[in-house]
Amino acid sequence: MLTLGKLPIDLLKTCIAGSGARDSRVLIGPRFGEDCAVIDIGEQYLITKTDPVTFTTEEIGWYAVHVNANDVATMGARPLWFQTCLLFPANTIETEVRHVFAQIDSTCRQLGIAVTGGHTEVTNAVTRPVVIGDMHGLVAKDRLVTSGGPDQTTW
């Protein structure tokens, strides 16, 4: 039985080995130790990141934006576009939903990030709100930073 938290390293490495169809534009795809994907879109790289917030319900929208923006920024990119998947438990009231949306809107405005879409639902699958963020940004090819160093851009 798995414990709470991140997957064991060996299990994660096995699971991410199945990464779908190959695309030569994907320079960094699923990889242990790398938080973002890197996609060659011509003159720049597109940096993409997905991360949930499950550790708090207070300021959950603020955290979702910042956690995802931080990972994109650590790759040298400017976070630009944000999408969310918001899951609310049964018996959630309208003001709680509006509050999370307002946090996301306010935080993205402060950081100059556009909200580009997402998904929202009330479900019995969760017992408290869960916000899953998906952040995208751009970086000049000569400004990319990876955890593996500058020569680690092929997977």
Q: The domain that contains 100 carries what CATH number?
A: 3.30.1330.10
Task: Give pLDDT tens digits for 6-48.
Answer: 889 999 889 888 878 999 999 999 887 888 999 999 999 999 9
Q: Is residue 101, in this structure, part of any structural domain at all?
A: yes
Task: Give pLDDT tens digits for 76-114.
Answer: 999 999 999 999 999 999 999 999 999 999 999 999 999
Number of domains comprising the chain? 1
Can you give the length of the chain in residues?
155
Q: Is residue 95, in this structure, part of any structural domain at all?
A: yes
Q: CA dist 48 to 1, 2, 77, Å?
A: 31, 28, 10
Q: Is residue 5, in this structure, part of any structural domain at all?
A: no
Q: Is residue 124, in this structure, part of any structural domain at all?
A: yes
Domain that holds residue 37: 25-143
Q: Is residue 7, in this structure, part of any structural domain at all?
A: no
Q: Are 123 and 93 in contact (CB under 8 A)?
A: no
Q: Are 119 and 130 in contact (CB under 8 A)?
A: no
pLDDT of 49 higher than 90: yes
